[in-house]
Amino acid sequence: MYSPESGGAGVPHYIFHVAKNLLAIDRQNEYFLFFDEKSAVWDEFKAPNVHCVLISGARFRRFLPLVYSQLVYAWVLRRFKLDIFHATNTGIPYFYRGRSITTVHDLGVYLRPEFFSWGQRLGTRLIFPHSFRRAAKIILVSWLLADDMNHLFPEYRHKLTAIQEGVSPVRETPTVAETDAVMEKFQLRREKFFLFIGTLEPRKNLLRLIAAFEKAMDDTPSAWRELKLVLAGRPGYRSAEIVAAARHSRYARFIILPGYISAQEKNILLREAAAFVFPSLWEGFGLGNLEAMAVGTPVIASDIPVVREITGGAATLVHPEDIFSWSKRMRSMVTNKEMRERLHQAGYRRVSLFSWKLCAQQTLAEYEKLQKIKV
């Protein structure tokens, strides 16, 4: 898991916030938190009813991942004789027989396999069905995922529950000096850039986003040619194609690829962007949209089911394959102040409906239901 201060995101971010909020509301049950390595976040969980457990041998995980996840992990879990094991990233070890709950963040391997490497496809198809069989309860992070799960694995319909993710509390407003330093580092100007944050991979649809940005620049008077596109995130599957498209673009000097950014940089860039852009073709949730809304930044996102669920009318939605419309919306976001203000206010209202505390409360309710069932 990652602390918010690390800038980390994705599943480890989810685990951190669910655990942190569970411990804030539940002082009665005893919790065991398992770590692959000693982490700075240990201090975040100091409480009388919490035990942080370091799994020995985790350093060999990258050499023997299946041995680690299926044998070592199962052995460690059995030692503690847990009442409930929560597999927060879906995988329940084959050799663990205790009562379990699993959380599913993504079913894209089954629905859009072309977006995943053969290793990802193989691993998922080995681990997911087993975990679904073993779990007493299956938590999905969006209603869309619950619906997809219902269609893909109808035999587990009785186990399903949807618990949406939350959004982190807004970080403190950065100082002028801090903001200026970050903007200078990336050579950006306030409200003169579009920001994407996420893994650089095909399903994020970044090739079309680059094409839309190029068209926006083509159609923009020279006075507006200070606009930039920032694609922030770690490289993922087939990221080389995305990097090549950015590097060989006729507007390459206006496309910034900063790689991984820190929590402070993320906070500042989200606040200063003309818009957060989210052109994804497939997602399990899409937390970045809410993070942008939380700091008042307008969102342009793909018109796909999960984004409609999460944004609830508080974002400008565009068909993910319509480059012309993406270009048009990007230009409008810079020139139309009335639209920006409308989205600004709508975003604040929408994000107020999501909280990690609520997510933790609903998760705890599932634990309590399971505890009442006699084995």
Find the angle CA(77)-CA(83)-CA(85) to the nearest 5 degrees.
50
pLDDT digit string (tens) for 120-133? Answer: 999 999 999 999 99
Structure confidence at residue 362 (pLDDT): 99
Nearest to 16, CA basis, from 199, 249, 252, 287: 287
- Other CB atoms within 10 A of residue 170 CB: 14
Residues 6+ positions from 115 with CB-CB distance below 8 Å: 108, 201, 202, 203, 237, 281, 282
Question: 226 to each of 181, 182, 316, how far by Cα in Å?
Answer: 19, 17, 23
Q: Please give the distance of CA 360 from its chain centroid, rounded to a whole number.
A: 17
Structure confidence at residue 3 (pLDDT): 56
pLDDT digit string (tens) for 199-249? Answer: 999 999 999 999 999 999 998 877 667 899 999 999 999 999 999 999 999
Q: Among 80-84, 149-153, 189-193, 217-221, where is mean pLDDT lowest? A: 217-221
pLDDT digit string (tens) for 268-285? Answer: 999 999 999 999 999 999
Top CATH class, 4-166+356-371: alpha beta
- Whose tokens are 């269609």? That residue is 151
Residue range 6-34: average pLDDT? 89
For 81, the 3-state DSSP assignment is coil
Structure confidence at residue 141 (pLDDT): 98
For 369, the 3-state DSSP assignment is helix
Structure confidence at residue 221 (pLDDT): 74
Question: 219 to each of 195, 273, 275, how far by Cα in Å?
Answer: 20, 20, 18
Residue type, 17: H
pTM recorded for the entire structure: 0.93
Higher pLDDT, 41 or 143: 143
pLDDT digit string (tens) for 45-54? Answer: 989 999 999 8
Encoding tokens for residue 321? 């394959």
Q: Among 3-17, 45-59, 224-238, 250-264, where is mean pLDDT lowest? A: 3-17
Distance CA 266, CA 261 (A): 6
| Cβ atoms of residues 375 and 99 within 8 Å | yes
Structure confidence at residue 67 (pLDDT): 73
Backbone angles phi, psi at 262, to 5 degrees: -75, 170
Structure confidence at residue 10 (pLDDT): 79
What 248-253 contacts at long range (C-beta under 8 Å, 24+ apart), as own/partner pairs, is: 249/210, 249/214, 250/214, 251/213, 251/214, 251/217
Nearest to 115, CA basis, from 230, 2, 198: 198
> Is the CATH code 3.40.50.2000 the one for domain 176-351?
yes
The residue ranges of every structural domain in the chain are 4-166+356-371, 176-351
| Cβ atoms of residues 192 and 219 within 8 Å | no
Structure confidence at residue 131 (pLDDT): 97
